Each structure stands twice: as structure tokens, then as C-alpha cells.
Amino acid sequence: MDIIVGTAGHIDHGKTALIKALTGIDADRLPEEKRRGITVDLGFAEMSVGDVHFGFVDVPGHERFVKNMLAGASGIDLVMLVIAADEGVMPQTREHFDICRLLGVRAGIVVLTKADLADDETLELAELDASELVAGSFLENAPKITVSARSGSGIAELKDNLVRIAQGLPTRTDQLIARLPIDRSFSVKGFGAVVTGTLASGTLTEGEEFELLPLKAKVRIRGIQTHGESVKNVSAGRRVAVNLGGIDHSRVERGMLLAEPGVLTPTQAMDAEVEVVAEAAKPLRSRQRIRLHIGTVEALARVQVLNEAGAIEPGERGFVQLRLEIPAAAIPGERFIIRRYSPPLTIAGGVVIDNSPVRHRKRDLAAVCDLLTVLRDAAKPEEMALILIAAAGTSGMSNLDLRSRTGWDNAVTVNAIRRPIAAGKVRDAGGRYLKAEVFDKLASSAEQAIAEFHKTEPLAKGISRAALRETAFAYVPDEIFQSVIAELAATERIVLDRESIRSSAYRIEFSPEEEVLRTRILSVFKDSGLEVPKFPELLAEVVSGSSFSVQDGRKFFQMFLDSGEIVKVSEEFYFYKPVIEQLVEQLKAFAAATSDRTIDMAKFKDLAGVSRKYAVPLLEYFDRERITVRRGDQRFII
């Protein structure tokens, strides 16, 4: 069992000394820390007791280094709230405690240090002070253990309680991709870039390719160490050092995220639920500039409070949109801290609900809050998948879209949508998932658009795919369009004919006047044989003396082309199909009677009984149709 333990408490209350007494490791690693005797950045140590492996994160207690403390506080499983017995609760004790509570830490121990410096009365006052601080919180019933790092008293009891609490923690269920928030970056001679952090989720494996966000730089894991031991892979809940290949150390810094490649998209907007601390001097208001701490990131951001008042009062909860000044990668369920811009002071904390929101208009706030409520309350991946797919509407969501919005491992995503698809609640439209009702509505819209086309163009063979796409699927992904059309065809509600689509129930019906024009056009082609008039002349001839316009004539003409009764040979000449078929048979008979199957222009004119005006376009048409192949002045009949 791997457990990350974080310290919290005021400066000089003995956090580093406590960890050394527990583990034998001095977590102060910087020369400045050794010289000044105070912790200014994160320190780390480890300890194993039985089957429990503890990784300790020692945080600075000075108010100037709270941002460093926050970089280490995310990801801890339990906290040791350290209070010096000779001083009691101090300002940073309160702020660190608020931070742990707001980050969702659910277990811990209150440790009263420096017992050797306090008399019984002072110790009793410190205990009362501590009890008052944690009343009503997750530490209300936590053990309060008095220790002295100098003498060692209470250390054994503290260890026993750490093990007992660790064994009672829920088993880590890891449904997420591998994510390592980076809290340190440095270079090792002969190895290159090395990063450290607490593995938040997933598994890191030596040799695998990962992505460094928000740079979107591809890197390879060249080596992994956990507490000084080289390993081939490591799972969530461990402190790790990772040697990265493919990137220079100078490009890597605290706040970046090492993650499975191609899944998460850095964002500058997050929808979240926040809790404003009861001791905050003012409400959290829209447009307020704040310092956002999420993972190991510190980013300046502005707040949009998603209620009519535009404010969340101290001690209250509410939904907000955070608009970051730099991109950061986050997932739903990830907790964060909000500190005042100036002077920096913790004023709120919360949890990400949507990592890819749009800007919200004031008139939409009620609907937005309803959606955020159901997303927040979704207990299972299947529930969240259904909510996200429904919210996506006609755009649908791909497997990668779902993973990007949730941070889920691929297997979790596949399982989340398998049952809804089997139950008919979700449709797989060419790899994009959308609600069955939305799919059915798109199908109905397509049928309606086709029916409207038949009304306005009764002589047309059908609507083109491109026209239907623009009419009924203007903002719909092409995969969904193709899937809807395929379903309509499979259920025989429409008929597909190359690039045209028609309703399966549609039949062209002619009025008596239209039947006369149709017969007249066809008769001209039949009677003309191979000496048809040029197309414009033909149109003018057939509509002459009728109530039809040239445009009407073109529609009838297109109908004959669609049905195949008329063949287009060139832009000027169109022929009756049986006439062309007869000429092809004549060509084949001619070829059979010759030794080399060739024919020239003169022989073709004699064979067809036409002038050069018709012979040239006819031969070029036969070349295109692979009935003949041109070889200089001759043509080979295939």
C-alpha cells in the first residue's frame, strides 16, 4: 500500500524535525534551508512499516512560501497537522488547515510538537486550541498525539497511528490516464532532464512515450526512480523521479504535467464548484482577479460567478467559470485552491467539473448550473458519459472527446459507453456517439429535407448529397451525416443513386401538359438519330409554342440524363441511348471484320453516316468510355 503523507503548519513548528524523527531523513535539501534553518521549498522522505509504504511531503510553513506548499499539498492521502505545543495555533496553521480541507483531504493526525518545550498548562492550552480549530472538520475525531522530535517521545505512537489510519483508507480506484504533476525539474550530467512529482493517476512505464503539457511536447521515459530505487514501472500514489528523453531541461518547469499523449488538451477555462472560506473578508465576485493553484500550477485567473448576484458569500458554495491567463491541463474531479491576488491569502477552494466549457451568457446561467449539477453528481463513468453525449447534441462525441473531457483510461471509456449503446440509448455514428433521440431527429430532418426537395423539384432524380448535407446537416460532423444516410438507406426509407438521394416512396408524376413535353423531347432524340441539333437549338425547338420555358425544358432534359435515356457526348451534343448502343455494336462488328481492329476518321464517318461535326465528339466520347483507344490518327477498338 502506497500512502502520501503531507505536513501542514506554521513556520518553525517542527515539521521537518518531525519527519526526520520518523524516517531518519532530513527533508531540507537546499543550502539556503540548511543555513537559515527554515524550509523554503518542498522536501521529501519515505518510510515503510509492514506492507505500508509512506512517502512524506514536507512543506514550507512561512506565508511567503504558501505557493510552494500548495505544489506539494495536492495529491496527499492524509495530513499531519503540526502545531507547536509551546505556541499553539498560528496564522499559517489556519491557512494550511483550510487548504487541506478545501483540497478534499479526508484523513489525518493532529501532532503537537516540541512537547519538551512546554509545561503541562501550555500543552493543555495548545490541545484546546487545536480542538477548537478542527471542530466540525475531517480532523475533529482525529488522534491528537504529543511528540518531541528531540527526545523521541510519542514518535512510536505516531507511527502506529499513521499505519492504522493508512490501512483504513479506501483502496485507490484508478480509472484515469497516467498524470504526473511536476513539482521539480533539474538536469543530471549524462542523463539530461529529470522531473519529480507525486504520480496522481495511472502507471508510468520505462520506454513509453508521453506528452509534456501545456507544451504538447512528445517525450520518452528513459528511466524511473522512486525514493532512490530504479524501477521499470510505477503506479499512482508514489513519489517518482523520471528521466525524460527528447527535451532539454531548460524547457521544463514546475507546473507542467506529464501525461499519456494525445488525450488532454490544455485549457484556459474551467467550470467548477467553489467554497468560499467562512473567514474570508469579502465575497468572491465576478471579474475578480485571483491566483489559482491546481496540481502544481500557479496561474492568474479571473472569476465569472454563475449566479444572478455575481458573487458567492463567505461560507457559501457556488458554481464559477475560471478564465486562466495561461493554459493548464485539468480533469473533472481535480481540486484546486483560490488565493487572493494581492495580498496572497487563501479565500476559496473547489473542484473542476467541466474542463472544456464555452463562455456563458447571463440568460443561460440556469441551464448551465443544471448541467453542472448533474455532472457533479454523476457517480459512475456511464452516467457522466451519457450527460456529456447529451450535452454535445448533434455534434456527438468521439472516444477521444470523452477521454479528453474526463481523463479516463481508454478501457474505462469503452466500458462507459458499451451498455448505453447496447440498450439503444446511444448511437455509434461512424465513431461519434450521440443520443438515440438526436440521431432519430436528424434522420427525420433528412427525410423532411428530401421530401421538400421533391416538392420544389418534382422532375429531379433526387437531391445531391452535398445539397442535403448543407440543408439538414450544416454543422454536423460528416461521420454522423454518412451514418444517418446509411441507416435511412438500410431501412429502405431512401434510395441512394451515386451522388443523388431520393425518397423510396417518391414517383415522378406528370400533368397532361408535362407528358406532352416529355414525349416531344424524347421524340426529337429518337427521330434525329446521330444528327441531333445542338443542345441550345434543341431546347428552343421543343418548348416553342408551349407554355413551358427553356428552364422547364432543361429540367425535363436533366430527368432523361438521370434516367440514362439520353447520353451526354459533349457540351453541345446529346444522343438517344439506343442510338449510341447501336453505333457501339457497329464498331465491334467492324473490328471483328478487320485484322488490326483499327479505324480512322474517314472510315468512322462512313460507318456512322455522319459529318466531321458529329464524328469528332463521338470518337472522343468513345475514348473516354474506353470503347476505343487513340493511337495517332488511328483508333484501336477495344
Residues 247 and 231: their CA atoms lie apart, in Å, by 21
One-letter identity of residue 313: E
Question: How large a percentage of the chain has pLDDT more than 70?
Answer: 94
3-state per-residue secondary structure call for 180-201: EECCEEEEECCCEEEEEEECCE
Q: Is 547 contained in some domain? A: no
Residues 462 and 107: their CA atoms lie apart, in Å, by 68
One-letter identity of residue 472: A
Nearest alpha-carbon partner for 214 in 271, 269, 265, 270: 265
Domain boundary (192, 226, 259) is at 259
Q: Do 442 and 393 touch, CB atoms closer than 8 A? A: no
Cβ neighbours of 248 (radius 10 Å)? 11
Entry pTM: 0.77
Chain centroid to CA 398: 9
Q: Is 294 contained in some domain? A: yes
149 and 243 inside one domain: no
- Residue 187, domain CATH: 2.40.30.10
At residue 118, the 3 state secondary structure works out as: coil
Locate 538 and state its grid cell.
434543341
321 has pLDDT over 80: yes
The 3-state DSSP composition of the chain as helix, strand, coil percent (nearest 5) reads 40, 30, 35
Write out pLDDT tens, residues 96-107.
Answer: 888 888 888 888
pLDDT band for 579, please (50, 70, 90 cuts): very high
Nearest alpha-carbon partner for 57 in 36, 78, 37: 78
Locate 21 and state its grid cell.
524523527
Q: Do 355 and 272 touch, CB atoms closer than 8 A? A: no
Q: Is 192 contained in some domain? A: yes
Domain that holds residue 623: 577-637
17 and 159 inside one domain: yes
Nearest alpha-carbon partner for 44 in 227, 181, 229: 227
pLDDT band for 70, please (50, 70, 90 cuts): low
Helices (H) and strands (E) in the chain, counts: 19, 35
Locate 75 and state its grid cell.
495529491
252 and 294 inside one domain: no
Least confident of 39-48, 191-200, 404-413: 39-48
Write out pLDDT tens, residues 342-397.
Answer: 888 889 999 999 999 999 998 899 999 999 999 999 989 999 999 999 999 999 99
DSSP class per residue in 64-109 = GGHHHHHHHHTT-SEEEEEEETTT---HHHHHHHHHHHHTT---EE
DSSP class per residue in 363-422 = GGHHHHHHHHHHHHH--SHHHHHHHHHHHHGGG-EEHHHHHHHH-B-HHHHHHHHHHHHH
Grid cell 451534343 is found at: 573
Residues 179 and 507: their CA atoms lie apart, in Å, by 60
Number of domain units in the chain: 4
43 and 159 inside one domain: yes
17 and 92 inside one domain: yes
pLDDT band for 40, please (50, 70, 90 cuts): very low
Q: How high is the pLDDT of residue 49?
A: 85
Domain boundary (139, 168, 197) is at 168
Q: Is 138 contained in some domain? A: yes
Residues 269 and 288: their CA atoms lie apart, in Å, by 15
Q: Is 434 contained in some domain? A: no
74 has pLDDT over 80: no
Chain centroid to CA 37: 46
Q: How high is the pLDDT of residue 599?
A: 92
Domain boundary (368, 395, 426) is at 368
Write out pLDDT tens, residues 201-223.
Answer: 899 999 999 999 999 999 999 99
Nearest alpha-carbon partner for 92 in 169, 199, 12, 10: 10
157 and 197 inside one domain: no
245 and 364 inside one domain: no
Mean pLDDT of 311-334: 95
83 and 183 inside one domain: no
38 has pLDDT over 50: no
Residues 447 and 4: their CA atoms lie apart, in Å, by 59
List the alpha helices (DSSP H) in 407-477: 410-422, 436-456, 465-472
Q: Do 539 and 530 touch, CB atoms closer than 8 A? A: no
- Residue 625, domain CATH: 1.10.10.10
Least confident of 121-125, 215-219, 560-564, 621-625: 560-564
83 and 220 inside one domain: no
Q: Is 612 contained in some domain? A: yes
Q: Is 51 contained in some domain? A: yes
Q: Do 290 and 237 touch, CB atoms closer than 8 A? A: no
Q: Is 188 contained in some domain? A: yes
330 has pLDDT over 90: yes
Average pLDDT of the chain, as a whole number: 87
280 and 255 inside one domain: no
439 has pLDDT over 70: yes
- Residue 78, domain CATH: 3.40.50.300
Nearest alpha-carbon partner for 56 in 159, 129, 137, 141: 159
38 and 83 inside one domain: yes
Locate 536 and state its grid cell.
441550345
Rg (CA), the chain: 38
Residues 484 and 427: their CA atoms lie apart, in Å, by 10
List the alpha helices (DSSP H) in 491-600: 512-528, 535-543, 550-563, 577-592
Q: Do 143 and 55 touch, CB atoms closer than 8 A? A: no
Residues 567 and 281: their CA atoms lie apart, in Å, by 84
Q: Euclidean distance between the first and final Cα of the chain, in Å?
A: 78
129 and 190 inside one domain: no
Pairing state between β 628-631 and 311-312? unpaired
515 has pLDDT over 80: no
At residue 255, the 3 state secondary structure works out as: coil
Least confident of 43-57, 265-279, 345-359, 475-489: 43-57
Write out pLDDT tens, residues 254-290.
Answer: 889 999 999 999 999 999 999 999 888 899 999 999 9
167 HSE (CA, 13 A, CB side) = 11
Residues 224 and 242: their CA atoms lie apart, in Å, by 5
